[in-house]
Amino acid sequence: MIVYRFKITFEDIDEVERFIDIRANQSFQDLYRIVVESIGFDPNINASFFISGDNWRKGKEISNNGKEGVATMANTRLNTQVNDPHQKILLVTHDEMEWTLRIQLFKIQKMDDNAVIKNLFKSVGEAPKQFKIVSIGKPTNEFEEMVDEIVRENESVDTSEMGFDDESGFDHNDSSEESEDDDMEEFDDNEDQDEGGDDSFYEDDED
Q: What is the DSSP letter of 84?
A: S
DSSP H or E stretch at residue 34 = helix 28-39
Average pLDDT of the segment spanning 115-125: 94
Identify the CA nearest to 92 among candidates 47, 146, 26. 47
Q: Is the dihedral of CA 64, 69, 74, 78 positive or negative?
A: negative
- Residue 16 CA to residue 178 CA, distance in Å, equals 81
Residue 45 has pLDDT above 70, yes or no: yes
Task: Dump pLDDT digits (tens) for 77-103.
Answer: 999 999 899 999 999 998 777 899 999
Average pLDDT of the segment spanning 138-154: 69
pLDDT at site 173:
52
Task: Dump pLDDT digits (tens) for 158-188.
Answer: 555 555 555 544 454 555 555 555 555 555 5
pLDDT at site 170:
46
Q: Is there a contact between 101 and 6 (Cβ–Cβ < 8 Å)?
A: no
Residue 20 has pLDDT above 50, yes or no: yes
**pLDDT, the chain, mean:** 79
Task: Assign a CATH topology to domain 2-124.
Answer: 3.10.290
pTM of the model: 0.62
pLDDT at site 146:
73
Q: What is the DSSP string of 38-77?
A: HHT--TTS-EEEEEE-TT----SEEESS--TTSEESTT-B
